[in-house]
Amino acid sequence: MTDVVIARVLHVLAVVIWIGGVSMATTVVLPAVRRGELGEKRLPAFQAIERRFVWQARAAVIVVGLTGFYMAWRLDLWERFRMAEFWWMHAMVCVWLLFAFVLFVAEPFILHRHFGRLASARPEVAFARLHRAHWVLLLLSAVTIAGAVAGSQGWSIF
């Protein structure tokens, strides 16, 4: 079972780096950027931080997915996806799919250009929307992490 322990360690480490970064962006970076505290040019200030973190987040999403499915396969946990008490297993996959879509499809192919245009024309609106989206993703992730840690110890709210 050493392999499952290693997979769990890597899974949680990657979650910490990834969602920790989302929390930092939501509660520290975006408020500072919106108030102009990192300079009046908000878009370049934000992009200088985002383009460094986005690669960490992408790598973490890959590690979390590989280790998560590996554990599910090794421990044969597929039945859990039929049971409501294991809602946190569904939540993990949903949060993962959501971020994978945002980081690998929406951000490089859609948001990058669209957001840049909106941020140049109406920075207040653009950064307010971006901040709101980050809050939603952070709250979903926090509920999922709490559910997964409690659920994998046998706790359930159902």
Residues that bind ligand HEM (CB under 6 A): 8, 11-12, 15, 19, 64-65, 68-69, 71-72, 77, 92-93, 95-96, 141, 144-145, 148-149, 152
Least gap, CB of 72 to ligand HEM (angstroms): 4
Residues contacting residue 103 through CB under 8 Å, at least 6 positions apart: 54, 57, 58, 61
Least gap, CB of 15 to ligand HEM (angstroms): 4
Q: Which residue is nearest to ligand HEM, using beta carbons?
A: 68
Count other Cβ atoms within 10 Å, centred on residue 68.
Answer: 22
30 burial (CB, 10 Å; 0-12 / 13-18 / 19+) is buried
Residues contacting residue 106 through CB under 8 Å, at least 6 positions apart: none
Identity of the residue, 11 or 34, whose beta carbon is nearer to ligand HEM in the bound complex: 11
Least gap, CB of 34 to ligand HEM (angstroms): 25
